[in-house]
Structure 1
Amino acid sequence: MGQGDPVTLPSGPGPDALTRRALLMAAATPLLACSGAPEIPGGFNGIGHERGHLLRNRSGVAPPSTTRRTRVLIAGAGIAGLAAARALRLRGIDDVVLLELEDSAGGNSRGGMVGGIACPLGAHYLPLPGDDAPQVQNLLEELGLRRRVAGRWQYDERHLCHSPQERLFFEGRWQDGLLPLQGVGAGTLAQYRRLSQRVEDARKAARYSVPLADAPASAPQLALDAQTFDAWLQREQFTDPHLRWYLDYCCRDDYGAGLASVSAWAGIHYFASRHGFHVPGDGPDRDAVLTWPQGNAWLSERMAWPLGERLRTGRVVTRIESLRHEVEVDAVNVATGVAERWQAERCIVALPVFVAARVVESPPALLQQAAARIRHAPWVVANLHLREPLADRRGPAPAWDNVLYGTKGLGYVDARHQSLDPTPGPTVLSWYRPLGDEPGARQRLLDQPWTAWRDQMLAELSVPHPDMAAKASRVEVTRYGHAMAMPQPGTLRAWAGRAALRSDRLLFAHSDWSGYSVFEEAMAAGHEAGRRA
């Protein structure tokens, strides 16, 4: 997220016209094949929901016939699990085994290939970490992404997001930045500036950090945490539709749900913990971000590499039980269908809380309460391979992040944007669609064919790019039924009580415990669990 320089441009078609075009395109997309346009092949990839559903049918799995031992077992190899393994490695503890549901580690930070081009399957960037995230800073130093030069930290520019970073399709053309500016009135700009001041006031009144600080939440933060962001905006008379669209987009992008679902604390935290909220030209530029063609998979792959055979993928953990002298963990090898049993001195449960509550025998009350309270946003990520570059509308050049005003999706990220080769050529566009606000979305993920998501993506993106369908060669769709925890009202208060979760042999590490899903929270939780183990 961020903003570019202020611009004043002639008004094009209004938002209603844009909506009409989108609706017409949505109706036309299923008829592409009938109109003579080529059928675009593809399918689902990643995230095998059938594996997760083995948890519901554990009675059909034969008991384990073999038992293996390790000093520390980590259940789950998302970023939290990988961070825990790294913390143990740094302490010289190598007798570790990780069990991961999918065929590769990384969780929401995994990547893939479409048409020979690397692309993200989930998270696609990492903001430059501040001093509140020393674990992330140390990881980046270990990976050679930053080094100290003349007393200052310097990042490898090859991995910083290249310019231009972002643009918005608004009023019939592209503009720099994502905050709507073309043709907006003085009243809109006044609300932008008033919100900027409110965010700055919040930063001065309380500490906002990523990851969340261990300091107790302040009274103003808890007051924000008790209400939705929508309710707070209404009470503070932030009613401008352009501002509300932008804030809703930011919440859906980071949290998977919009203004009416996330807490006012989460809405303010989004800005106050990082770069603030600024009208372009009124404040500093947005913070730089690190990104790669495969997104944050660049990081997760390098965190997983030292593990070798200690990382066991394709394992569905079905039972974790803390016994008198050890922890027992049962898992099904999906390749063979055979159950395995592991015994360990300690177990780090780096699983989403709703999974942890299901597989941990006699789960602690705090784990049960968290599993009942936390709601997870479903997501769809569609990767579209293009044979050649798209024709473009008026305005700034194609950017890394390209967003369309007023759509349900979050626009697209260009996997080839970071390439050092200036020659135009084939690329992959990654389209993101959060579903946290939509009733029945998880069931739709199971029921709808992949073509439904392909057609919705084309309906949205063909508005600025009418030639997209003709130049597309393949679409691969990734479904996440429980992609990320949504920070609803009460999240901050609940997070403050997580320290009460203690066990002699079980340690819990996942971004769910923070109530929202970002790399820094998962990294901090995993590192702490590895340190304590």
Structure 2
Amino acid sequence: MKRRAFLSMPAAAVLAGCSARHDIEGGFTGIDIARGHAWRDGALPAGAAPDAARRTRVVIAGGGVAGLAAARALRLSGVEDFVLLELEDTAGGNSRAGAVQGIACPLGAHYLPLPGDDAHEVQDLLEELGLRRRVSGRWEYDERQLCHSPQERLFFQGSWQDGLLPLQGVGAATLAQYRRFSRRVEALGREGLFTIPTLRTAVAPTLLELDAQSFEAWLGREGFSDPQLRWYLDYCCRDDYGAGLAHVSAWAGIHYFASRHGFHAPGDEDSVRDAVLTWPEGNAWLTRRLAQPLGDRLRTGHAVTRIAEQRSGVEVDAVDAASGRRLRWQAERCIVALPVFVAARVVEAPPERLRQAAAALRHAPWLVANIHLRAALADRPGAAPSWDNVIHGSRGLGYVDARHQALDPTPGPTVLSWYRPLGPSGWDGSDSRRLLLERPWTGWRDELLAELSVPHPDLAGLATRIDITRYGHAMAIPAPGLLATLGAPERVVAGRLAFAHADWSGYSIFEEAFTRGHLAGTA
């Protein structure tokens, strides 16, 4: 059967005759959706009389990367009297982890590119954690934590190839567009307008011009029509932003490359992608170390329902999910490290800038599935098994192998983490968030098995368990016009409230969230 015909078949037909799939255990895990919806639907009303009151100097609302960074900054500045309130049972936001059959695996973000000099707050954290040190005047990273080779491969035209840019069998016209796009990105990068974090760059006219149009429209105007180039750029946008090149701005599409490693066409001198830090549990390796020193100052399972600035301080109301008690925290100030759409709901009399940002921001739903395999997979011809393994033309983003970082090379049981962004609308045209919540676990199981069985026909027979984590609002989509709406990229402060979340950068990566949290904690 040809691959095109295989992909067009329903998942059930593809897997018919494979009785092993009925033996696969699993279900939904990782996020307490009912808890979040209880807050959304008004079951946790704001302003209700509290059962108890507490005092502290600073309240941090939200325990994702930004909130954890703010807590670290407070401690570094000598402020120990604070509390961090987090809705879920563990802190970390999109950088949390789990385990399947005893093997650690990510529930979300799974790597951190080596930060540039503009992200010096992140560099300081890595030094503090022993991930980098200065040797003979040069910085060296702990090689055990750098992604082991081979790093990435693409299943394309029936076999595996090194790297993710389609190369096998492409013609001269495709290669020419690769090279021309590389030169265009390099020229824009030389203008110094694409930095991480974004708050280190002013919103210049060039950026606003790119922000005003979709990446797809810009590519058309620039004459970049090659289908393989467009597939790769669409994949990159879905990977970083949760939506394809038709839905993100040209600023976001170019920022993906110009702010980091550039775009390297075949034959470029620097054609190797920059190194990344990664762990079997993904970026939870970092967030667990940020959370560990907090002790009982970290209050998980606490839903913030109201943040109100008073004449002499701030009141923050929260509900303890375990006991149902309503607590009111009185503090000098509050660091609001919540997604913008949540902050706009819980902050009383929200400032205009917050209201505008909440109205403009859209968030991409995501699904992360962790698949336990009782033995190593057989492989197709071509490039060797890699950490990141992508299937050309698929709806998912491929999978990463939790055992790739293991120092023992002996093949054995492992966990594959499969990533599936749903974008602004579902693949079948329905509302993507509703699809995420209403589709049964077995539907997602069958989709991922059908997709990954293209390069791995033995996968369904080796899988023993699949745990699926759903994120209704995983990350902000940098849609056209968002950069202009968010305005000046500097820290966002309103009275006694400091806002810290990657949403304020227009997209979600560790460096943006961490830097904004750190600056809010030092304000």
Decide whether the 8 Å contact of 1:109 with 1:124 is kept in 2: yes
Against the structure 1 CA distance between its residues 369 and 28, is the aligned structure 2 distance closer, same or farther, given a 3 Å change threshold?
same
Please give the alpha-carbon distance, in whole angstroms, between the structure 2 residues aligned to 1:104 and 1:36: 34
Decide whether the 8 Å contact of 2:400 with 2:416 is kept in 1: yes
SS in 2 for 1:502: strand
Matched with 2:400 is 413
Unaligned 5+ segments in structure 2 are none
Please give the alpha-carbon distance, in whole angstroms, between the structure 2 residues aligned to 1:509 and 1:221: 23
Please give the alpha-carbon distance, in whole angstroms, between the structure 1 residues aligned to 2:511 and 2:109: 12
Whether 1:512 and 2:499 are equivalent positions in the alignment is no
Whether 1:40 and 2:32 are equivalent positions in the alignment is no
1:135 to 121, 146, 149: 121
Q: Cα distance, 1:37 vs. partner? A: 5.0
Against the structure 1 CA distance between its residues 210 and 498, is the aligned structure 2 distance closer, same or farther, given a 3 Å change threshold?
closer
1:228 to 204, 214, 220: 214
Q: Cα distance, 1:185 vs. partner? A: 0.2
Matched letter for residue 53 of structure 2: T
Q: How does 1:230-379 map to 2 (within 5 A)?
A: 230-284=216-270, 285-379=272-366
Q: Cα distance, 1:218 vs. partner? A: 2.3
Residues 31-54 of structure 1, C-alpha deviations (whole Å, 9 max, x = no match):
456x46542110000111111122
SS in 1 for 2:194: coil
Q: Normalising to structure 2: TM-score of the pair?
A: 0.96
Aligned-residue identity in percent? 67
Matched with 2:64 is 78
Residues 56-113 of structure 1, C-alpha deviations (whole Å, 9 max, x = no match):
3446656311100110000001000000001111011110100001111100000000
Please give the alpha-carbon distance, in whole angstroms, between the structure 1 residues aligned to 2:40 and 2:10: 40
SS in 1 for 2:407: coil
Matched letter for residue 82 of structure 1: L
Decide whether the 8 Å contact of 1:32 with 1:38 is kept in 2: no
Matched with 1:471 is 462
Please give the alpha-carbon distance, in whole angstroms, between the structure 2 residues aligned to 1:412 and 1:483: 18
Decide whether the 8 Å contact of 2:316 with 2:328 is kept in 1: yes
Please give the alpha-carbon distance, in whole angstroms, between the structure 2 residues aligned to 1:60 and 1:330: 10
Please give the alpha-carbon distance, in whole angstroms, between the structure 2 residues aligned to 1:519 and 1:94: 24
2:100 to 114, 117, 120: 114
Q: Cα distance, 1:259 vs. partner? A: 0.6
Q: Cα distance, 1:467 vs. partner? A: 0.3
Whether 1:396 and 2:383 are equivalent positions in the alignment is yes
Whether 1:530 and 2:514 are equivalent positions in the alignment is no
Against the structure 1 CA distance between its residues 191 and 69, is the aligned structure 2 distance closer, same or farther, given a 3 Å change threshold?
same
Decide whether the 8 Å contact of 2:305 with 2:317 is kept in 1: yes
Q: Which moved more, 1:297-306 or 1:219-228?
A: 219-228
Moved >6 Å (runs of 4+): none
Whether 1:202 and 2:193 are equivalent positions in the alignment is no
Q: Cα distance, 1:286 vs. partner? A: 1.1
SS in 2 for 1:417: helix
Matched with 1:446 is 437
Against the structure 1 CA distance between its residues 496 and 424, is the aligned structure 2 distance closer, same or farther, given a 3 Å change threshold?
same
Matched with 1:430 is 417
Q: Cα distance, 1:490 vs. partner? A: 1.5
Against the structure 1 CA distance between its residues 522 and 95, is the aligned structure 2 distance closer, same or farther, given a 3 Å change threshold?
same
Decide whether the 8 Å contact of 1:25 with 1:463 is kept in 2: no
Please give the alpha-carbon distance, in whole angstroms, between the structure 1 residues aligned to 2:420 and 2:296: 35
Decide whether the 8 Å contact of 1:329 with 1:343 is kept in 2: yes
Q: What's the Cα RMSD here? A: 1.5
Matched letter for residue 424 of structure 2: D
Q: Which moved more, 1:431-440 or 1:240-249?
A: 431-440
Decide whether the 8 Å contact of 2:242 with 2:421 is kept in 1: yes
Against the structure 1 CA distance between its residues 39 and 23, is the aligned structure 2 distance closer, same or farther, given a 3 Å change threshold?
farther
SS in 1 for 2:116: coil
Q: Which moved more, 1:329-338 or 1:311-320?
A: 329-338
Please give the alpha-carbon distance, in whole angstroms, between the structure 2 residues aligned to 1:245 and 1:475: 28
